[in-house]
Chain A
Amino acid sequence: MTSTSTSPSTHPHGRTGSSEPLLSVRDLRVTFQRQGQEPFEAVQGVSFDVHPGQTVGLVGESGCGKSVTSLAIMGLLPARGNRVSGTVSYDGTDLLTLSDQQMRDKRGKDIAMVFQDPLSSLNPVIPIGLQVTEVLERHRGMSRKAATPVARDLLDRVGIPDPDRRLTDYPHQLSGGMRQRALIAIALACQPRLLIADEPTTALDVTIQAQILALLKELVQDTGTALVMITHDLGVVAGLCDEVNVLYGGRIVERGERHELFAQPRHPYTHGLLASIPRLDAPRGQRLTPIPGSVADNLPWTHACAFAPRCSQPIEVCTRVMPELVPHEGRPLRCHNPVEESR
């Protein structure tokens, strides 16, 4: 079920990795080329699969390439100044080879996306209702009149109270959580088979975060939609994802089924991410363990481990040879010196 043959993973509803993947990303590379600057490879050969109904997490800190990966899948990268290679196979079609028009026909219908900041992601001068119905008009060929009750039901479905009134409301009249619900309603309007959620809870306060995550979980389970969850927050992953890909410096450094990954993080980066989460069961007064440095300290992957300068347990080879993504205890791992303890 993953790019390497090693990963035994579990799907919801007890299915195993034998079915055809819905989305299959292979060796995806995105290079940004700005005039007068060195080209910058933001995504350096990322491969992963998403099966129907499965929820897959892409986890990493800012700048690790997770958002660029999602935009590349959606075909939403700016038209100029970048180069995308590899394959993004959706239901057997390589999305990267599609024309702009063919991609427009897929976006919003087969693959939809929920964005990070619900206020800026909704058009401020258009009523919520129209922002939902326009997707239905576009992909279902419905008239606005016919689409309006559908939009109303969608708003109701995502838990927006008094949906009839909300149809004519504008984004600024809704609360933050409500706006994110509206964005989810828009994304799910045409019942896409794949939903990509890019940090859908980052801009919300904690109680609302939990509600939105619960809603997403419920919706994907009810509709059988596959979900790619992009986040820097392992707490989000823990509650939602079946499988987790940890990204660092534009490459996947570790992949695993959620429980395995949390119980036995093998990459020092994953381990560090988990150690930096506050825990309720930790002894009083125990400080959080941050990962030192920032992504600016990265070494080039080509002849080192990019994470080596920030690693808690680097060995000599780490700054000389690039680690490959190879099976380690049955899970893909990119590390010369894996963490051995269990948490």
Chain B
Amino acid sequence: MLRFIIRRLVQMVGVLVVLSLLLFLWLRSLPGGTVSAILGERATPATRAAMEKAFGLDEPVWVQYGKFVGRVLQGDFGPSTSVLPGTDALDIFLQRFPATIELSFFAMLIAVALGIPMGYVAARRRASFLDNASVVFSLVGVAVPVFFLAFLLKYVFAIKLGWLPVSGRQDGSLDATRVTGFFVIDGLLTREFDASVNALKHLVLPAVALASIPFAVIFRITRASVLEVLDEDYIRTAESKGLTNRVIRGRHVLRNAMLPVTTTIGLQIGALLGGAVLTEAVFSWGGIGEALALSFSRRDYPVLQVIILAAAAVYVLVNLLVDIMYAVIDPRVRTR
């Protein structure tokens, strides 16, 4: 197992190297560019040239890439060019990363905590009213665009009803102590429990909006997977042993049905960033989703490179975790 993990980590380095090259070339082949984004289209050639030289963009791409790799290996992704000019790109990323992780974590928690039980119950009561209602509910979850759902939730629960905060991660008036950057955890660590509660309230709406698609996908995969497992011969064997429903459900059905669900959860975590960009924008979340959108529109290459490479690294790590989980659940994978 250890060899497997090490091999996967080495693979991850390879993935990141290839991705960094593709990303570097791709960003620089886009129409427009950092200079146009900052100076506008009407700047004189001389001003443009001066700024290009300042950012090192006048050199051949492969020279730029070589220097980039050299600096990155020392942990230096370069300063931001246009989002927060002069600020270290890695700092921008690190400062915003906990916000996105916190949001994503709660979104996935909601998606998993609702999707798996609902999928299981829907499968056990196949074609019942409950099943049909759940399927329709999940279809709505996939079909409604995330930004629209985010706006809708915000409008109804924050603006009209006033139950939950409109935007941000915490009320500034609390002046809560920062430890980890995860506001809920910070509140627990510093025993400022009202800060945790406040952060949780802020989390509800964006997390629900972001959870909609992963919930729907996890629900449907669980339902399909449980239906398939219920038809398996070994479930009939378990029934023939007279085992209680509880044992059959937990030990025989769910464990087998979780195999495809685990894979799905991993893939959904990887795909979460896309939804986070939209959700964070609606709720002024201050996470990397917002920074990604902003740095893209302003062609802030250093910030873009940090965020996208980090997202890729997270994706690979999550999938490594999924593979380990898979081996824990399924002995057939382990012995290979």
Contacts and interface: CB of A to CB of B under 8 A. Distances in A.
Interface of A: 74, 76, 103-109, 112-113, 115, 117, 120-127, 134-135, 138-139, 170, 172-173, 183, 186-187
Nearest to B256: A125
A74 B330 CA distance: 30
B262 to A, nearest CB: 12
Interface string B64-87: 000000000000000000000000
B252 A124 contact: no
A124 B233 contact: no
Interface stretch (B136-144, B152-160, B186-194, B243-251): B243-251
A74 B242 CA distance: 10
| 3 nearest CB pairs, A to B | A107-B242, A108-B242, A108-B241
A109 B242 contact: yes
18 contacts: A104-B243, A107-B239, A108-B240, A113-B240, A115-B233, A115-B237, A120-B232, A120-B233, A121-B237, A123-B251, A125-B330, A125-B331, A125-B332, A127-B331, A134-B251, A172-B332, A172-B335, A183-B237
Contact of B243 (A117, A134, A170): A134
Nearest to B230: A78
Contacts of B256: 123-125
B234 interface: yes
B237 A104 contact: no
Contacts of A109: 242
Contacts of B241: 107-108, 112, 134-135, 138, 186
B186 to A, nearest CB: 40
B331 to A, nearest CB: 4
A138 B251 CA distance: 13
A187 B241 CA distance: 7
A297 B35 CA distance: 82
B28 interface: no
A120 B236 CA distance: 10
B53 interface: no
Given A173-B335, A183-B237, A126 B251 contact: yes
Contacts of A108: 240-243
A117 B237 CA distance: 11
Nearest to A107: B242
Given A125-B329, A125-B331, A134-B247, A105 B236 contact: no
B234 A139 contact: no
Interface in B212-269: 232-234, 236-244, 247, 251-252, 255-256
Secondary structure class of chain B's binding surface, majority of residues: helix
Contact of A138 (B232, B237, B247): B247
Contacts of A122: 234, 237
Given A112-B241, A135-B242, 13 more contacts: A105-B242, A107-B240, A120-B234, A121-B236, A123-B238, A123-B256, A125-B331, A126-B251, A135-B243, A138-B247, A139-B242, A173-B335, A186-B237
Nearest to A113: B240
Nearest to A105: B242
A143 to B, nearest CB: 15
Contacts of A134: 241, 243, 247, 251
Contacts of B244: 104, 138
A126 B254 CA distance: 12
A112 B242 CA distance: 9
A115 B236 contact: yes
Contacts of A183: 237
Nearest to A136: B241
A76 B241 CA distance: 11
A112 B335 CA distance: 32
Contacts of A107: 239-242
Contacts of B240: 74, 76, 107-108, 112-113, 115, 187
A105 B244 CA distance: 9
Nearest to B237: A121
A183 B240 CA distance: 11
Interface string B317-332: 0000000000001111
Nearest to A170: B331
Nearest to B229: A123
Contacts of A76: 236, 239-240
A303 to B, nearest CB: 36
B252 A123 contact: yes
A125 B243 contact: no
Contacts of B238: 123
B331 A124 contact: yes
B14 to A, nearest CB: 31
A172 B336 CA distance: 11
- Of B238, B242, B330, most buried by chain A (CB within 10 Å of CB) is B242
Contacts of B233: 115, 117, 120-121
Contact of B330 (A103, A117, A124): A124
Contacts of A105: 242
- Of A106, A109, A117, A121, most buried by chain B (CB within 10 Å of CB) is A121
B241 to A, nearest CB: 4
Given A125-B330, A126-B252, A173-B335, A104 B242 contact: yes
B247 A123 contact: no
A124 B332 contact: yes
A112 B238 CA distance: 11
B131 to A, nearest CB: 13
A106 B233 CA distance: 20
A76 B255 CA distance: 22
